[in-house]
Amino acid sequence: MSTANMKKLFALLALASFANIVVSAEVVGDAKAAVNKIAMCIGCHAIPGYKATFPEVYQVPMIGGQNEKYIVNALNAYKKGERSHPTMRGIAESMSDQDIADVAAYYSQQKK
């Protein structure tokens, strides 16, 4: 491949990478859109004092009023397998980036 073609290839790759970053940065949470997306969350996270028993007994955290960025990071960590709870991983893997942003926006606006 010629030097000119290599430069074109690198320029295209750089442009594609930049476009990917811009698209990722444009995901903005919509709390109203989350109303139809939170059914899986309510079953555990909306019950004060709820304890889950799978895979072990533990106190389920209340997520209402939690920081939006924290929720996004936590769900993405479950989605990537960086957090290991099997139920949360399954739920997070089923969510798009927009779903995650919407749910995080919804819960961050709730009162603790």
Please count the other Cβ atoms lying within 10 Å of the Cβ belonging to residue 71.
Answer: 21
Taking only the tens place, the pLDDT of each residue in 51-76 is 888 878 889 999 999 999 999 999 99
Q: What is the pLDDT of residue 15?
A: 65
pLDDT greater than 60 at residue 23: no
Do the bridges between strand 51-52 and strand 58-59 make them parallel or antiparallel, or are there none, so unpaired?
Answer: antiparallel
What's the pTM value of the predicted model, to 2 decimals? 0.73
- Which residues are paired to 58 by β-bridges? 52
Residue 90: which pLDDT band, with cuts at 50, 70 and 90?
very high
Question: Can you tell me the mean pLDDT for 8-24?
Answer: 58
What is 27-108's CATH number? 1.10.760.10
- Whole-number pLDDT of residue 6: 56
Mean residue pLDDT of the chain comes to: 86
Residue ranges per domain, the chain?
27-108
pLDDT band at 13 (very low <50, low <70, confident <90, very high): low
**Alpha carbon of 95 to those of 44, 79, 89: distances in Å?**
17, 8, 10
